[in-house]
Amino acid sequence: MGTDLHLIRAARREFTGPAALLDDPVLRERAGEYLTDLVRPYDLRVDAAARGQSYGEMAAELIGALVPEDEPVDLLVLAFAVHDALPGRATAAYLSHVCPGTPMSFALCDQGSAAAFTGLRIAGAHAYRRALLLVVEQSVLPYDPGVAVPDRHRAVALLLGDGPADDSARVTSLRQHADVGPDDVAALATAELRALGAGRADVSVVLGPALAGVRPPPGGPVTVVPPGQPSTGVWWALPDRLGDAVAPRVVAADYDPDLRYLCLLATEPDRGRD
């Protein structure tokens, strides 16, 4: 699908240590009780000493750095896969409170690496003047989930508008494919990259780690995101490619091998870098 979204600016940050909110023993105890009740049916135990990060704290820092008071936001989307240190909190509603414009807000989860692409698709399908996409992940869970968790606490924020601005990039296409099996993903991803212009010298390609074996047609530079950050990896790398003077058009693609989603995004410069 096409969109009318323009990426105005982006911010990203890596966080170390646990959430400051967990310094409060009452909040820490409540979070432990909440998680204990949730994991008990699965015969899992909660480690009270394990202290993760708060998406409310992480995203609030990026909002303060990215969104000026005179640029109110109409829509805020929080995309994540791993729950944060305070899973009972209505984090998207809290972030609306701290974001200029007090935007309508909601969270997207249970879609793996596809969540951020879905957030962009929803934003592009509605007439929002400014939208803020927050992609977050934290690396500490107080129980064994049976699967790998992210390596580090990271957050990426993308501020989007409904029209061009200086040095902005327009989202020209956003494609999502469901139920793509591991035997089919390479062929489909290659065909989609070709259709979206990858192979031209002025197009940069950013690939998620599950697409490391995909070989786009020869053309512009290709960045393969290292494993370890399944939600933020592609979005962390994207701003670096948007600033490329030689290949400023960007095609980004990610694949979730567990949920079998293949997602692609294409952008091109709005002004001055064409």
Cα dist. 239→39, 106, 175, 242 in Å?
Answer: 38, 24, 19, 5
Tokens of 255: 């694949």
| Fold classification of 169-269 (topology level) | Peroxisomal Thiolase; Chain A, domain 1 (3.40.47)
pLDDT in the model for residue 3: 60
Q: What global pTM score does this model have?
A: 0.94
Q: Which CATH number fits domain 6-18+51-161: 3.40.720.10, 3.20.20.80, 3.30.450.20, 3.40.47.10?
A: 3.40.47.10
Condensed to tens digits (0 to 9), the pLDDT of residues 42-85 reads: 999 999 899 999 999 999 999 999 999 999 999 999 999 999 99
Condensed to tens digits (0 to 9), the pLDDT of residues 230-262 reads: 999 999 999 999 988 889 999 999 999 999 999
Q: Where are the domains of the chain?
A: 6-18+51-161, 169-269
